[in-house]
Chains A and B, each alone.
Chain A
């Protein structure tokens, strides 16, 4: 396949999108922490 033959062109461009990867990772971690915090809060609200 022609597109794969020029993978070098694609790879160099990826550096521009590094901030997107970082922000997605940060949002993922934040969401996971928020979820854990809500789980911890819920039982105490119930008691």
Chain B
């Protein structure tokens, strides 16, 4: 019996590894790296940079700057551009759903998987941090919601008043939405099957329209739309703010300092960082041994091989998210050393925006290889979106050039992005501490444990990245 179980476990472990190895490897494309120093030394150097940044902030940054920074109007936008952008978004969404159902089921031949997991999930955050909330302009669910509202108003004369958005709901719908996307990406075995993605896109759209119908397009888009919020939070880091009528310039990070955390904001940001962490962690030998043990345990409980692998990864994803949330709560608990009257959870919520640049750093550092290599696939996928041999723009025979950026360059980009992201997190937390505690010395003392948390996040990220080679 025992021998049978051991054999089954060994087969399950091997098969499970095969089931998950391909997507896991695809997520962290880096190429061969030949670095002059051991990678852990980069981690130590990054930690040192953060300590120096912390001291620099304490000495040179003695009054709140980010929360009080203004913005200035750069130029106006024609009124027609907003509905046009929405229309483009709706057409792209409809085209992708069509490609998912009508196109090839081969993930590399159909445009849908690359668009969803590379262009949408990784590319849009990069655009958002450079140009502001571009997704809001083309958000197809919001465009349809607004269009429907406009049509109803034209027909009925006035819109029925939506329900007030419940305060306790806060960002929880968005947190759940991003968690479910992470489950799709990291747990579900058929995540890249185009027709499955098309179904899920429709399910997501329907959920958004239900939310908008109940609470109004604006309230739901700003709080409940998982992707709208995911990109919108990254866009707060940008030096530009886009509105329907104008583009405004502002101090980078000042938009983030003004983010109003709600119920579920910490959960949302923890899922954002935790899911990326788990994507990296699932490639480490440490996870290999834990996953092996978990798979055997699930098989013993009567799970099929596939469901045992998926349950194992689900446990890992939840665990990673809880570790990130726990670390951040520890940092917030440390703030209580200078203000024991405040509750840890309130302090955590107050300082939650400092996690936004860290979430972006994690996404960029982890997926930069995927972005620079796999985005090139769009060259041939746009010409042959269904994978049926079409050549709409004459680029169907293009290939991916894996040589245009070296593995070493990717590593340096990863380290730089991580250090900048965490330094930005420290600056945001320091600025908020100055608002809360006034005196520079008290504000600095409140951030000791937050510094430890930032160094822990940096060390964790570099350790996770060091496992790709």
Q: Tell me if B286 and A13 are in contact (CB < 8 A).
A: yes
A41 to B112, CA, bound (A): 67
User: Looking at the complex, which one of A2, A17, A34 makes contact with B293 (CB distance below 8 Å)?
Assistant: A2
Which B residue's beta carbon lies closest to that of A27? B448
Q: How many residues of A contact B (CB 8 A)?
A: 20
User: B interface, by DSSP: helix, strand, loop or mixed?
Assistant: helix
B contacts with A, residue count (CB < 8 A):
29
- What does DSSP make chain A's interface, helix, strand, loop or mixed? helix
- A23 x B47 contact (CB < 8 A): yes
User: Which residues of B, 452-469, contact A by the 8 Å Cβ criterion?
Assistant: 452, 455-456, 459-460, 462-463, 466
B289 interface residue per 8 A CB criterion: yes
Contacts of B47 in A (CB 8 A): 19-20, 23
- B44 near A19 with CB under 8 A, answer yes
Closest 8 CB pairs of A and B: A19-B47, A16-B463, A9-B285, A6-B289, A2-B293, A15-B40, A27-B448, A3-B289
13 residue pairs of the A-B complex, CB under 8 angstroms, read: A2-B292, A5-B289, A6-B285, A9-B284, A9-B288, A17-B456, A17-B459, A19-B47, A19-B48, A20-B456, A20-B459, A23-B51, A34-B445
Residue positions of A touching B, CB distance < 8 A:
1-3, 5-6, 9-10, 13, 15-20, 23-24, 27, 30-31, 34
Chain B residues in the interface with A (C-beta under 8 A): 40, 43-44, 47-48, 51, 284-286, 288-290, 292-293, 296, 334, 337, 445, 448-449, 451-452, 455-456, 459-460, 462-463, 466
- Known pairs A3-B289, A27-B451 / 14 extra A-B pairs, C-beta < 8 Å: A2-B292, A2-B293, A2-B296, A6-B288, A6-B289, A13-B286, A16-B459, A16-B466, A17-B456, A20-B452, A20-B456, A23-B47, A23-B452, A31-B448
